[in-house]
Each structure stands twice: as structure tokens, then as C-alpha cells.
Structure 1
Amino acid sequence: MKKRMLGNTGMEVSVIGFGGIPIQRVNQEEATKIVLECRDRGINFIDTARGYTVSEEYIGNALKKAGRENFYIATKAMGYDYESMKNFIEESLKTMQLDYIDLYQVHNVSKMEQLDTVLSENGALKALVEAKEKGLIKHIGITGHIREILLKAIENDEFETVQFPFNPVESQGTELFTKALEKGMGTIAMKPIAGGAFGKGKLSLKYIMNSNLITVAIPGMDSVSQVAENAAIGIDGEPLTQEEMEEIKKEVESLGNDFCRRCGYCKPCPEGIDIPNVFVYEGYAIRYNLPEYGKLKYDGMPVKADACVRCRKCERKCPYNLHIVDKLKHAVETFKNLE
């Protein structure tokens, strides 16, 4: 497995990491087998989150057999103020039964006000810095889906890594990753197969490996066979052939513009709908085959997709000309069918 330095952290991580969302749909025994396969295939970077229900628990238990020393463990939490983040760090350590976590990230900063809170005197960053000083965490990162917010965030030197969507159909993170690399930050590609929308997963990972923008890509995996297939891309290390580039081009064209990139330009919705997250949660239910988790996240939204009054202000702001109103209607039906 090829390895790269994760920015200036000193961590030499495998170019293919393990994304911890999908193991929510397997049991502990299978999760342990998956983590063991990661170890045997040379994958040494695991990413999970407080919000991924049993993921942290499964990973922590699996490490007892797979060996904590064989992995760099990254997790994250949507705690933006000091107390929330402090509590989340303690919960992660307890749940995963670890003395320290290699990388703790502020998870899914989607509003500039949230970033302001994170960076404030009593913000999450203060809690992360304190935890780092105590040795509870080793490094600090940030994740999100809105480029402009993360571009602002990485101006703060405390952040050592940045995690953002990147794949052949989602290249809006190019400027962000370029600037992060110039600062010596590690770059982590979430949604490397576009949440399952990109049909040629191996080619998508190979594309990312050849982009010179990404330190580690973290495809979600819920089977031993998926680990073997994805790990092989990290071993290959060959440049894309002309034929492969043509395949990628055709796949991108087939997806067309009917695909939410979560750029956030559609916001704010006059009715208060968090439009990008509606599609993210629907994706969990449909593409990730996590209907219960997707519905749980959707049900927790203060304003649901059925609040849409079809004003179409979002559509006029969408740079990809998506039929957002129709897609929201589709989401309403998706979650109604899950009841």
C-alpha cells in the first residue's frame, strides 16, 4: 500500500483509508473482520464520527484484535462550542476505549456562524487545543461540504487537516485542497465515489490518487471484499490510461447536472429547509443502503423537505441548474416510503 505524509502531522498514512459510515449496517463480528482486513491489506487510516451511531464502538472493539498500533484513528463531532466539543472528545475516547485519538475533526461546519463559534473564545477549537496539550488527541482537523467556509477555516493555523468531497464529478474542492497543501495541511477526500453515485468506483479512486491533491481517500466499506478491492487501488499506483480517462468522462457525462454537489449556493431557503442535507440524508437511505440512519438524520431536521412552497429561489441560485424543487419532492416520497 502506498503511503503519504498527512501534511505536517508526521503521520504516514495509506493513500486508501477506511470510511466508517457503512459499518453501521453490519454486526460487531463482521466489523472486526473488516478492520482486520484493512490491517492485512495495508490500510492504516480509519475515519469515523460521533454521529455514526455504533461505528466508533465497533471500531474500538475491533482494534483489540487488529492492534491499536497498526492504525491512525480519526473521528469527528458536530460540537461547535467549547463544552460540546470537550464532551464529545471524552465520549469518543470512552466509546473507542482509547488513551488518545490521532486526529479529531470539527465535523460538517456548514454555516459561517458555526465557524465563528468554533473559532471564538469559548469555541470548539479551544477544547481541541486543550485536548491536544493534554495528549488526548494528537492533531486537529476540520470537515465540511461548503468550500467557502473551509477556505476561511484553513486560514487558522491550528487546523492541520481538511476533509471535503472529491471525486471525478465533484471537483469544486480543487482550490481548497491546493491552498491546504500549500500550507502544509493534510487533505482527506470524503465521498470518493460520490456517495455511491459514481458507478465506476475503482476508477474514481484511481482518479483521486492521480490528482496530486489528496493525501488519503476514505471510501466507506462494509465488507471484506470491498476492502480488498479498494486497497488494490492504493497498491497499483499506476497513472490513468487514456481508455480509463474516457471511461471516467463518460460516467461524468452520464450523471449530468442532476447531482447535488452540496456547494450551498441554494441557501438560505426562505422556508428554512437545509436543502443540501436533505439530499445527503436521502443519499444515505438510497445509495449507502442505510435507510434507518438516513431517516434518523432526516427526522432530526427542524424543517423537512415538505415545507417547500415551490418558490424556486434555490433553483435560480444553483450553479448546476438542478431541478431542486422536484428533487425535494422526490426526497419527501423517499422518506415517506420508509415510514
Structure 2
Amino acid sequence: MYKHLGSTDISIYPLGIGGIPIQRVSFEDAREVIAHAKGLGINFIDSAQGYSDSEAKIGFAIDSHKNYWKLASKSPARDKKGMEEAVTNSLKKFNRDYMDLYQLHLISSMEELDTVLGPNGAMETLHRYKEQGFIKHIGITGHKPEVLIKALDIYPFATVQVPFNPLETQSIELLEYAKSKGVGTIIMKPLAGGALTSPTACIKYILNQPFVDTVIPGMESIEQVQQNFEASQNSSLCVDEQEAIDKDIRELKNNFCRRCEYCQPCPQGIKIHSVFTLHGYYSRYGLKDWSIPRYQGLPVLADICTECGICETKCPYELPIRDMLKVAHKDFSG
């Protein structure tokens, strides 16, 4: 059941491990979770520089079998020097001489893409490290399908990583296009950041799609690994599983931010999608200690909102953004 990630030489089981929840467990627990995944044949792990000690715990967990694993990480660094520090730190924390995949993280505009691909941009470092053998392949991640489609036309990225699940289907055109070009497709946030309540149904739904190479749910327990693995063995949805998905979508569709950013710019300078993304980590991932300082570090906090309502007139999902901002700020300030 192993398959190549796009046109690369990376052969992986279609269920991988997302590194976000590893932050919440001990080093020893991380080793037990990852060892169980290896025993099932799972061989791909994706993490990021921004996931606090996730990379270090993964490096500790895979130590005696580190060459078995296909490792990926990513950084939001946009310049050459910042990316050099990021890749160097990832290699050190993973305790390995190379990474199978390193990704430009969260590219959300053509201006950002121009920056990373331009003079002294982050891509200069990734190219150099690839030539030196420290990186095998270069990928890109983001939440803006239209930007990523253009990115795939401009540069031969090996992979693209985006959110996709029964609730967030806005990247289907991108994923189909990537597949047609031989670009590997990695699905993050398969449970919509924890908003969807039926993991088995979601994994099956995603792996049923012909444009998906691998899905990387965050897993922090042996039970989660086992449950997701069993879902990956048979992607046929039963009636109850489809009904569970439909129920979630009915309840969430008018109260869930898809990070499309059509609400921007806010006249007060609030990064609305950033507030809601961090609030998801706070309320659904259980990463309160991680998300609170990042919220407090935003240039403008949600309590600056004057309730002008312009954002709500531009939201294609008709979300009650003003109320959602109040809830988020109250939680972060509590």
C-alpha cells in the first residue's frame, strides 16, 4: 500500500504523523507513540519549526531507527539567513544528517512568494542545502489555493501541503492540478483543527480522494495511531460515518473560519484569520500555553474591533466574525 509522494523517490504509507500534538506529550510518550506507528508500517512524519519542542521529541523518538523514517519539516522564514537557521535547527533537533522534505511554510500571497524566490530569499538557502544533500526535496504549504496554484506554475515544487477535509474543500482544484503535474499532495488538518468529531470518517473521506497522496493527522497516543491506521486500511464510508460527517458540517458551516482571508484587510489592522487560527489551537488542540503568547504577540488584538461589520459583508461563509472575535479575545485574556 506504499506509494510515491508525487514524482519524488519518497515512498510512504498514505497515513503519516502530523507533529503538532507531540508538543503535549513527554519525550518517552512520544517515543512509544512513534514506535507503535512504525510497527504498523507508518513511515512519514511532518513537523515544523514553530511547533515548540515537537522536532526535538521526534528526533529523540526515532533515534535508533532514524533512517527508517521519511522526515519533513517547514519554516515561515522568508529570507536566506532565517531559512538557514531554521533548517540547521531542524537537522539538529531531528538528529539526522538530512531531511527528505523541507517546505516553505504558509505562503499566503504573491508578494510572499516573490520574496522567498527573489534575491536573498529563503529559496537560496533551500537550493544550497539541497545541492549539499541536507535536503532531498523542496515543498510549499499554505491556505490560499489560488496563490499555491500560481506557485506551482512558477517553481517546480516537489510537494504541496494544504488543509482538506469534509468541511474545508476549497483546495480541490489545487490538489487536482498538483496531481496532474506530479506534485506530491500532503493533507494537513484532516479534522479541521479538531472541529470535526469523527476521525475515522474523516480519514476515510480524505483517502478516498484520487488526488491525495498522504494525510497527516496529529497523533499523541497509541490509541489514536491505531484508530487512524485502521481507518486507512479501508476507506469505504459506512452510512453512520457519512451521517457523522454531515452532522458536523451542518453544525459548523456557519461558525468555522476557513482562513480564506477574504475578510481582510480589517480597517483596524486585526489579522482576523490569525486570531481564529490561534483560537483553534487554544480551544480544540488544547495548546493554551502555546497559543496565548502568540496571540498576545499579534500586532493588533481582537479587542480593537469597532464592530464596523465590513469583514462580515466580505465573508463568503457569512460567519458572525464580530462575535467570534469577542469570544476569542475573552478566552485569550481569561
Range into which the TM-score falls when normalised by the shorter chain:
over 0.9
2:20 — aligned with what?
A: 21
The residue type equivalent to 2:152 in the other structure is I
Amino acid at match of 2:268: E
| 1:189 corresponds to | 187
Partner-residue secondary structure (3-state), 2:154: coil
Q: Which residue is equivalent to 1:8?
A: 7
3-state SS, counterpart of residue 153 of structure 2:
coil
Conserved in 1, the CA contact under 8 Å of 2:198 and 2:241?
Answer: no
**Identity across the alignment (%):** 46
* 1:42 and 2:41 are equivalent in the alignment: yes
State the alpha-carbon separation in 2 of the partners of residues 159 and 299 from structure 1.
34
Is 1:314 the equivalent of 2:325?
no
Correspondence for 2:301: 304
What is the aligned-residue RMSD (CA, Å)?
1.3
Give ranges in structure 1 of 5+ residues lacking alignment: none
The 3-state SS of whatever aligns with 2:175 is helix
Take 2:115 and 2:28, find their aligned partners in 1: how far apart are those partners?
Answer: 40
Aligned counterpart for 1:173 among listed residues 161, 171, 189: 171
Distance 2:148 2:90 in 1: 24
Q: Is 1:42–1:231's contact at 8 Å kept on the other side of the alignment?
A: no
Do structure 1's residue 263 and structure 2's residue 264 form an aligned pair?
A: no
Aligned residues: 334
Q: Kindly indicate whether residue 241 of structure 2 is the aligned counterpart of residue 244 of structure 1.
A: yes
Q: Which residue of 1 aligns with 2:58?
A: 59
Amino acid in the other structure paired with 2:15? I
The answer to whether the Cα contact below 8 Å between 2:196 and 2:245 also exists between their aligned partners in 1 is no
SS in 1 for 2:193: helix
Q: How far apart are the structure 1 equivalents of 2:79 and 2:44?
A: 27
Equivalent position SS for 1:162? strand
The equivalent position to 1:289 in structure 2, one of 286, 308, 319, is 286
Q: Give, in angstroms, the shift of residue 276 of structure 1.
A: 0.8
| 1:253-280 Cα distance to aligned partner (Å, 9 max, x none) | 2223211011111111121111111111
Rounded to whole Å, the distance in 2 between the matches of 1:62 and 1:329 is 40
What displacement does 1:311 show?
A: 1.4
> What is the 5 A alignment of 1:179-258?
179-236=177-234, 238-258=235-255
TM-score (norm 1): 0.95
Runs of 4+ in structure 1 deviating by more than 4 angstroms, as ranges, are none
Structure 1 counterpart SS, 2:162? strand
- The aligned residue for residue 84 of structure 1 is 82
- What residue in structure 1 maps to residue 114 of structure 2? 116
Is residue 14–residue 234 contact of structure 1 (8 Å, CA) maintained in 2? no
State how far apart, in whole Å, the 1-side matches of 2:276 and 2:13 are: 30
- Structure 2 gap segments, 5+ residues each: none
Structure 2 match to 1:128:
126
Contact 2:191–2:217, Cα closer than 8 Å, also in 1: yes
Give yes or no for the alignment of 1:331 onto 2:328: yes
1:240 is displaced (CA, Å) by 2.5
**Which amino acid is 1:59 matched to?**
I
Residue type at the aligned position of 1:179: Y
